[in-house]
Chain A
Amino acid sequence: MNIAVCMKQTPDTEAQIKIATDGKQIESSGVKWVINPYDEFAIEEALRLTEKHGGEVTLISLGPASTEKTIREGLAMGAHKAIRIEAPANPSDPQVVGAALAEVLKEGNYDVILFGKQAIDDDHAQVPAIVATRLGIPAVSVVVKLEITDGNGTALREIEGGHEKVRFPLPAVISAQRGLNEPRYRSLKGIMAAKKKPIDVRQVNLETDQLTVVKLNYPPEKQPGRIVGEGPEAVPELVRLLHEEAKVI
């Protein structure tokens, strides 16, 4: 089985996000960079599929050379090789990312292409669907359970109040939701082996961003609230406030 996992380097979820002086991007100094948490579920699922069906896992990532450190973490989990598509920065337009990934994925003849459901920096949640549409193959997003058999797959997709069970032919794109699996830790052996695994660098013509950031703002400061009291004795006053002041119950 030939499996691709598209992964991205993102700031750690604990990171304090500061808007840069130009107001259009965030300060990158002092940020701890990690594999986008949702991509870890994708990498883990790919590894499980190749452990079960044989084959190889190729990581594909768009970014500058500084992101190779994070790509190596994916290789340390057990992926066999990687392709880095050269890009000076993270494009603001997910269509540009999708077009670049699709161009490289087209050549790979992959049976399954896995993504995390969204990147925790821009939160677009678009690239998997964009790539599938450009490749003319089916995609199932926000997947919490995946089964692949001969040339076919079924996936359980999270929707409001429940799940859709979706059946699809291969090749297909899957975007992973938390709960799909438990990603494995990188062993020392895996980290050492990753140093020797190839990261192929590819150049593509990046399209022009049609979606651009005009300005970044912090969300409005929440007004300080108040502690109504301590213990069950404070409940009647809380209920009164919610009913008469906030008027929400």
Chain B
Amino acid sequence: MATILVVSEIRNGQLKKVNFETYTAARQLAEQLNGNVVALLMGDQVTGIQNIPGKYGIARVVLVEDTRLAQYSADAYAAVAAEVARQVQADFVWMPATAMGKDLMPRIATLLQTTTAQDVVQFRVEDGTVVYTRPMFAGKVLADIAIASTPQTATLRPKAFPIEEKAVDASVETLQVSIPEPKAVVEEITTSGGGKLDVTEADIVVSGGRGMKGPENWHLLEELAELLGGATGASRAVVDAGWRPHGEQVGQTGKTVSPTLYIAVGISGAIQHLAGMLSSKYIVAINKDPDAPIFKVADYGIVGDALEILPKFIEEVKKMKAEG
């Protein structure tokens, strides 16, 4: 019987929503392999969230609590997760492909003398083995890969897998694990832009390019994003020009996003930008050049001046919301 260990990402004592995508995917794999899923919660105080994995079909929860785990430390977290993987005899170790997950899982794999499928967007079971699909060349190619070593470790791309609730009774146990003194220590965490939603975590992204003419016009995008409950993004050109911070950049040398809706305003659609947002479910393009490459990938487009269209867009969204 296959055991899948899911390492959960906990920030500020809370389970991030992205964990539920991995819980769901792991549960689905367990069903196909007649296996079971174990969720690992590690931190300085995790008893308060121990009942959450059970909502997503995870029947076994393992806690490791220690003050040394209060903040993310790659070497300490990796040692704990690897030890838990050994203790539960995990055949698979999965985690969301967040900043933490992508940093942590290769270390866990090294400690367990195995390897990692990083940033997986799909998986399937073929002849009893798992085939993982992951993007390469900035998404220009999707690679089907296999892992021969055990346990198989993987990180799952945020928003690539759905969340499905399935309430089960979960057993909760605390494991004693030796925890090394962290070498690299997080001294503080700063949030950019007063805790604004990060572009990789939003379901709706409103993104601006040079067609916005200047940073002073960004309030239009911010207002639209706020009305839609989304985050703002930016093209490389406007980040290079200093109009927007690098943390908002979407594209090959910025962030990869997979929101439900991506609205590209005044963005021409260079290959490197597309690499960062092509997997969005719906793409809207607003650009005054009808030949802009962005229109080739947009589901819906409007040809025109961004600065004239945005105020109308804001007005219409307000109307739509008022009408319920």
Contacts and interface: CB of A to CB of B under 8 A. Distances in A.
Interface of A: 11, 13-14, 17, 19, 26, 37-38, 92-95, 98, 120-127, 129-130, 132-134, 137-142, 144, 154, 157-169, 172, 178-179, 210-219, 222-232, 234-236, 238-239, 241-243, 246, 248-249
Contacts of A228: 300-302
Given A166-B185, A214-B146, A235-B313, A219 B290 contact: no
Interface in B246-286: 246-247, 249, 252-254, 260-261, 271-272, 278-279, 281-284
B15 interface: no
B308 A232 contact: yes
Contacts of A212: 145-146, 148
Contact of B189 (A38, A163, A234): A163
A242 B284 contact: yes
Contact of B190 (A124, A162, A230): A162
A166 to B, nearest CB: 5
Contacts, number: 261
Given A123-B135, A159-B100, A163-B189, A94 B141 contact: no
A233 to B, nearest CB: 8
Interface stretch (B20-28, B30-38, B105-113): B105-113
A129 B75 CA distance: 10
B320 interface: yes
A238 B252 CA distance: 28
Contacts of A223: 299
A167 B272 contact: no
Given A37-B253, A164-B189, A211 B117 contact: yes
Contact of B116 (A126, A172, A227): A126
Nearest to A153: B184
A98 B227 CA distance: 46
A231 B137 contact: no
